[in-house]
Structure 1
Amino acid sequence: MINRLVFSMLLFVSFAMISCKEQNKPIPQTKVSFKKEGDLTIYKSDKTQVHLDIEIADTDFDIQTGLMYRDGMKKNQGMLFVFNDESERFFYMKNTKFPLDLIYINADKHIVSFQKNAKPFDESSLPSNVPAQYVLEMNAGLIDIWNLKVGDSISFKKNN
């Protein structure tokens, strides 16, 4: 009787382990592609301009997801996060596969701070250090290539 009970328990545990192992198979990732939702212009202090196609993150889901799970963006693309208020912002690179530059922008649409070359998958906080209402994410290195400065300004329009 005890041998039957032990055998039954071992059989149950074996099936449970096999079942759990099958559930740990990787889930195929859906490819997330860039979808142009607007245009953004950066007005530099030297009077030159930079133009970007942007996706706009203005819902809770879009803001929380951002550029996660994507393989990259083109040089002329970015994601603009739009918040309802101006306050200190904290971003991180969880599930983001490629390095980014983050530009923090106040309610008057002036650049107030940067976080350059944010590392993929790094969950360290990337604070604005000052109040911001908008955050622009773009490929790492572009802040320096375009020589962007605190005080430069932006304008953007959302596609209809």
Structure 2
Amino acid sequence: MVSRRVRNYLGVFLVWLLLVLVLVSAGVISLPIPAPSPDSYDHATVTIHDENGTRLGSVDARVADTTHKRYIGLSDTEHLPRDEGMLFTYDAAQNHTYVMREMSFPIDIVYIGADDRITSIHHAPKPPEGADGNEYQYPGYGQYVLEVNHHWTTERDVEVGDRVRIENE
């Protein structure tokens, strides 16, 4: 038989647990979600060609192919090595808005349509110190979104309309 004191503690615990669950589901409070480990990502080689077929550049990209990996993205990453990036994949082309949440360096955000052509490019600066980055929004349309180092696209003359080839490793 359970004592009255234990039942009271259990009742208080359940009320607090229910309150936390309601506040989390309502978005009033958030619980930290750990970032995926770097070795949990698949990799792909992403190569960009101009309209004449000339190779403009290539990156080794971590593939963010789950909701959790897409949400975390490059947040809390200290830097992005040269010619590396992150490729966000979706089942179909659609409108997206990417933000600079917890970013400590600037990036280029490249939207790629289902036809493997670049639909838009944003040069996203590092958010100011103390900003959460969510107010820095970069919309676009695509089935894929490639994040690379800031001005990687400019240095290689990558433009809207260029063709992208993705090879899984």
**Which category of TM-score, normalised to the shorter sequence, fits these structures?**
0.7 to 0.9
Listed as ranges, the matches of 1:108-127 within 5 Å are 108-120=115-127, 121-123=132-134, 124-127=136-139
Separation in 2 of the partners of 1:64 and 1:42?
Answer: 25
Question: What secondary structure, in the 3-state scheme, does the structure 2 residue paired with 1:63 have?
Answer: helix
In the aligned structure 2, how far is the partner of 1:158 from the partner of 1:47? Answer: 20
Alignment-mate amino acid for residue 110 of structure 2: I
For residues 107 and 156 of structure 2, what CA distance do their matches in structure 1 show? 14
Partner of 2:154: 144
Q: Aligned with 2:103: secondary structure?
A: coil
Give the equivalent residue in structure 2 for 1:155: 165
Select the structure of larger CA radius of gyration.
Answer: 1
SS in 2 for 1:86: strand
Q: Which runs of 5+ in 2 are unaligned?
A: 1-33
Cα distance in 1 between the residues matched to 2:98 and 2:110: 11
State the TM-score, normalized to the length of structure 1: 0.73
Q: Deviations over 1:129-156 (max 9, x none)?
A: xx31110000101111111111101111
Corresponding position of 1:48 = 54
Gaps of 5+ in 1: 1-28
CA-based RMSD of the aligned residues comes to 2.2
Larger deviation, residues 119-128 vs 79-88: 119-128
Q: What is the CA distance between 1:44 and its match in structure 2?
A: 1.8
Report the count of equivalent residues. Answer: 129
Task: Provide the TM-score with structure 2 as the length reference.
Answer: 0.69
CA distance in 2, matches of 1:36, 1:76: 16
